[in-house]
Amino acid sequence: MSSTRNIRELSLPELKEYFESIGDKKFRAMQAYEWLWKKQARSFDDMSNLSIDLRKKLSEDFDFNAIKVDATQYSHDGTVKSRFKTHDNHLIEGVLIPTEKRNTACVSSQVGCSLTCKFCATGKMERKRNLDFDEIYDQVALLNDQSEKVYGKKLTNIVYMGMGEPLLNYKNVLKSIDRITASDSMGMSPKRITVSTAGVAKMIKQLGDDKVRFNLALSLHAPTDKQRDEIMPINETNTIDKLIEALNYFYEQTKNDITLEYILFKDVNDSLKDAENLVKIYRKIPTHLINVIEYNPIAGGEFIKPSEDATQSFTDFLAKNKVNVRVRRSRGKDIDAACGQLANKDN
């Protein structure tokens, strides 16, 4: 284990103290800080307006644990999936999803996941560790680079919907968003960021207490506790009633958008009775949208995608009952980049 400190954990005042302590000028701190956050340096060697001796000194006193692109895959629909390698050789995945109006980065918050949702490839992996805030930030920076190189425009949106449960890595997720939205960094609007959760009621309430400014998505995927228990073990301690209470509290405190995510599984949650039960939940939450999502098959999975007719009947029922519903067509299925498919498979 390294005994040196991660330089990106230092605030600007702390950097100024450091440079003073080594007999250098305070303005060096601002130069270094700009390299870390405004220019998204990948190493001390990138800091070209600092002397070679100073860069060497920084590398002796600090760690710079930037993640690197390990492999990239391109889908026929334009989606780009990247496998990233951390400084300690863990692998995670992130996805760039381009559309006519927006370019969205889907980022991971953990190495693996502990929640074992039955429809998710990441849920079949062991959770190795949480990602640090700067490793999450790096994914956004690298996906933004890809967006500019491949599509000629910057990211417009960020979703925390990759590997892991964001609310079980609460502090790092919030700190990464602070850095992404900071004016001395990427300066992205928090209204263009959505954090998706499988449903950790206590931490949803904490988001409300912390008055966060980003949007929230709940992966619901079943309209009753009995059904949800079967596919999402987290529901045993975070029941639908508890989640409804938590989401209402979150909205009261923040007034931020809430989306319900609902993957359709054939003969599991796609009946008109299921749609009726979903309408009841929708009416209890100040949610602005239900995203009905195509199921994406995974290795060893037990579910089947419903027919187009069944999907249409389900969404028609919601719409007739004044539910704002949208069918989200999966992107990047051919490279295992779609919802629920991230699992670090070999290319």
Q: Is the CB of residue 325 less than 8 Å from the CB of residue 288? A: no
Task: Note whether 259 and 292 are same-domain residues.
Answer: yes
Task: Note whether 219 and 243 are same-domain residues.
Answer: yes
Q: Residue 163's pLDDT is what?
A: 93
Q: Residue 332's pLDDT is what?
A: 56
Q: Residue 1's pLDDT is what?
A: 43
Task: Note whether 325 and 182 are same-domain residues.
Answer: yes
CB-based burial of residue 101 (10 Å sphere; 0-12 exposed, 13-18 middle, 19+ buried)?
Answer: exposed
Task: Note whether 73 and 59 are same-domain residues.
Answer: no
Helix count (H) and strand count (E) of the chain? 10, 14
Distances (CA, A) of 163 to 168, 185, 201, 341: 12, 24, 20, 9
Task: Note whether 26 and 172 are same-domain residues.
Answer: no
Q: Which residue has the tokens 């931020």?
A: 256
Task: Note whether 52 and 72 are same-domain residues.
Answer: no
Q: Residue 336's pLDDT is what?
A: 57
- The CATH number covering residue 55 comes to 1.10.150.530
Task: Note whether 301 and 245 are same-domain residues.
Answer: yes
Cα–Cα distance for residue pair 28/283, rounded to 1 Å: 55
Task: Note whether 127 and 256 are same-domain residues.
Answer: yes
Q: Residue 347's pLDDT is what?
A: 43
Task: Note whether 124 and 165 are same-domain residues.
Answer: yes
Task: Note whether 212 and 252 are same-domain residues.
Answer: yes
Cα–Cα distance for residue pair 97/102, rounded to 1 Å: 8
Instruction: Return the SS3 of 97.
Output: strand
Q: Residue 335's pLDDT is what?
A: 54
Cα–Cα distance for residue pair 287/283, rounded to 1 Å: 8
Q: Residue 299: which residues within 8 A CB-CB, separation 6 or more?
A: 121, 343
Q: Phi-psi bin for 219: left (phi > 0), alpha (psi -120 to 50), beta?
A: beta
- The DSSP call for residue 109 is S
Q: Is the CB of residue 143 less than 8 Å from the CB of residue 94? A: yes
Structurally, the chain folds into a number of domains equal to 2
In a domain, 114, yes or no: yes
Reading the chain (347 residues) residue by residue, the pLDDT tens digits are: 456 899 999 999 999 999 999 999 989 999 999 999 999 999 999 999 999 999 999 999 999 999 999 999 998 889 999 999 999 999 999 999 999 899 999 999 999 998 888 888 777 788 999 999 999 999 999 999 999 999 999 999 999 999 999 999 999 999 999 999 999 999 999 999 999 999 999 999 999 999 999 999 999 999 999 999 999 999 999 999 999 999 999 999 999 999 999 999 999 999 999 999 999 999 999 998 999 998 887 766 788 999 999 999 999 999 999 999 999 876 655 655 555 444 555 44
Catalytic residue annotation:
93, 339
Task: Note whether 18 and 162 are same-domain residues.
Answer: no
Q: Is the CB of residue 138 less than 8 Å from the CB of residue 151? A: no
Helix/strand/coil percent split, the chain, to 5: 40, 20, 40
Task: Note whether 55 and 88 are same-domain residues.
Answer: no
Cα–Cα distance for residue pair 105/143, rounded to 1 Å: 6
Q: Which domain holds residue 41?
A: 5-63
Q: Where does the chain have alpha helices with state H?
A: 12-21, 27-33, 52-61, 133-151, 170-181, 201-209, 225-231, 240-254, 272-282, 308-320
